[in-house]
Amino acid sequence: MTPLPPLLQAFFIDRLARQRDASSHTIASYRDAFKLLLAFLHTRTGKQPSKLVLEDLDAAAIAAFLTHLEDERGSSIRTRNARLVAIHSFFHFAAFKAPQCAEQIARVLAIPQKRHTSTLVSYLIEPEIDALLAAPDRSTWTGRRDHAIFRTAFGALPATAPFRDGASTYRPLAPRSRKNDARKKRTTGNEWMQASLDGGTQAGR
């Protein structure tokens, strides 16, 4: 039998945090997935999380957990798939730590993602663009970067791009200047983005 707690701790501390330098959002998402899984296994086996072994997490138990998410918790297929990604990541790690469970691990890793339909957003209306531009925290470098990326992307839109029922148009945000008819001076997207980042850095000083 392979105790589960040491494997889980090594997965979160060594694998995710130290080796992969995973973001806090990824770690939180994986943590939530295993909190739900441990609670489900406690109900299923009657064992406390500290008493669980890796063998308790066989393919049948994982499949039952995924069904529980959809049928009893009302989770969407997208959320179900996100929980499975966390479980698969852990089992990829466990394959090197517990080779004696190789067959069990292979069966869990063989559990597929469930297909789902996604809504295609073909265009954004102006208030939605304004909301995206306002979302990044421009007091941080990553926020200024994201804001610059959004502005560059929206600035590449045609000047006559329609929004809703042809009622509104959106003007490109990327600046362009023209010296004269014979010689044109244009600011490229990369140059404009760098200027935006540099300007935000100077403003934050």
Q: For the chain, what is the mean pLDDT?
A: 81
pLDDT of residue 198: 62
pLDDT of residue 129: 84
Beta bridge partners, 176, equal 186
Structure tokens at 165: 């029922």
pLDDT of residue 126: 82
Q: Where are the domains of the chain?
A: 4-109, 126-204
Alpha carbon distance 46, 25 (integer Å): 31
Is pLDDT above 60 for 168?
no
Amino acid identity at 128: E
Is pLDDT above 70 for 25?
yes
- Return the axis-axis angle of helices 24-45 and 59-71, rounded to nearest 10°: 100
Alpha carbon distance 198, 9 (integer Å): 41
Alpha carbon distance 84, 98 (integer Å): 20
